[in-house]
Structures are given as structure tokens and as C-alpha cells.
Amino acid sequence: MLRMLISLTAVLLLSACASKPALTPHPTPSPSASDASESTPVTTPTARDLRQWQAKGKVGIRFLGQSITATYRWERQQDDFSADAAGALNQGYTTLISRQGIVTLENAWLGRHESADGEGLLQAVTSIRVPLSHLNAWFMGWPKDPSTTIETPTDGRGVRQFNEYGWHIVVASEQTAQGYRIPERLIATQDSTRLVISLTEWTPSP
């Protein structure tokens, strides 16, 4: 069970600290919206093109028949990132850092591990291959590949959705922080794995 908690916490890092900004939620668009751009008012820019920011929040994961929640911190730094996550009472505290193509995972129980294949490293620890190179984009609610098709959920339960790298991403709701429109809640699913990510603090970095 201890190793399962560590493994799940490591996955939580993959789902993406300044003072807490004011976050303003926005309702999801009506089912009649047909284009992703219609869900984002022109007066409130998205954070899609920002390459440095910090986020905090909570994440719930269903994985290998288990469910767990944790708090996380994710910081994008150009094409790299640093992150940490922990369960209740700071159990399973894990850090994950990507620098110039090298990913480092560190945990008090599992020790320190480095690899140029970050996805393979996480797969060895968690038994699931998570697309690390996509998460900086997904955290802001957009696909990494500009050519990926973006749709509005036909049932009205969300702002937009897309499929990328074998995952289905739904931006369930958005909010305004520091003058930018960012996700408030997003859901990522692949087979039996489901991540529900909530952003409660966010700020762009200089």
C-alpha cells in the first residue's frame, strides 16, 4: 500500500509559488457553440502562449482500481518544468524536475532517479506512461500540437475538448486569473485512468 501511494503521488505530478490571485470562474458555453474561440472572449486573453507560470491546486486520480487525492504545485519554465505533490499529511511527497532533456524524480522512500526518457522513468515507477512533454500545454487547457482538432462538447458539459497522444482532455470550466483566462477544472482520461485537476492558484512568471 505504501508503494502504491508513492506511485499514485508520482502520477499526480503529471496531471501540471506566488501569492494567491483572485480567480473568477466563468460558466461553460452553451451546447450551440461550434468553435473553441467562441468560448473565450476577445477581451480576456488565454494563457496558451505563456511559457513561464506557476500553478497550485488539487488533483484526484483513479488508477489501478484505486482513488486518491493530493495537492500539487506545477511551475512551467519555458519547455521545462518543476513540480511537487503529496497526499494527506504530506504522505508520498515527491518532486519531479525537467531540465534540458533530463527528468529527475525524487522521493524520500524511493530515492533519486534521473533519465533522459522521462516518460519511461515514470512508467517504471507508476506502471503508466504519462506524456510529460505535453503537460505544460494541457495545464493551460490546450493541446501541444497547434494542428490538433479542438471541439466543443456536444452535451454542453465543458468549454472545449480534444484528443492528443492517446488521451482525451476536457476543459470542464474556466476562470480569470491575473487578467488571463485559464482552466478552473479539467479532466484527462486514458482507458481506466482518470485525472481531475483543479487550479486554485495561478500566476504568470516574469
3-state SS, the chain, equals: CHHHHHHHHHHHCCCCCCCCCCCEEECCCCCCCCCHHHHCCCCCCECCCCCEEEEEEEEEEEECCEEEEEEEEEEEECCEEEEEEECHHHCCCEEEEEECCEEEEEECCCEEEEECCHHHHHHHHHCCCCCHHHHHHHHCCCCCCCCCCCECCCCCCCCEEEEECCEEEEEEEEEEECCEEEEEEEEEEECCEEEEEEEEEEEECC
Q: Which amino acid is at 197?
A: I
Q: pTM for this structure?
A: 0.78
- What per-residue confidence (pLDDT) applies to 42? 52
Q: Is a pLDDT exceeding 80 seen at residue 38?
A: no
- For the segment 38-51, the average pLDDT, to the nearest whole number, is 76
pLDDT tens column, 69-119: 889 999 999 999 999 988 877 788 889 999 998 999 998 788 899 999 988
At residue 15 the predicted structure's pLDDT band, cuts being 50, 70 and 90, is very low
* 79 CB-near residues (< 8 Å, 6+ apart): 51, 136
Nearest alpha-carbon partner for 161 in 196, 197, 188, 133: 188
Distance CA 141, CA 171 (A): 6
Contact in structure between 165 and 176 (CB atoms under 8 Å): no
CATH class for the region spanning 2-204 = mainly beta
- What per-residue confidence (pLDDT) applies to 94? 87
Query: Which residue has better confidence, 142 or 155?
Result: 142
Nearest alpha-carbon partner for 35 in 165, 149, 186, 184: 149
- What per-residue confidence (pLDDT) applies to 128? 67
At residue 23 the predicted structure's pLDDT band, cuts being 50, 70 and 90, is low
Q: Is a pLDDT exceeding 50 seen at residue 32?
A: no
The domains of the chain are located at 2-204
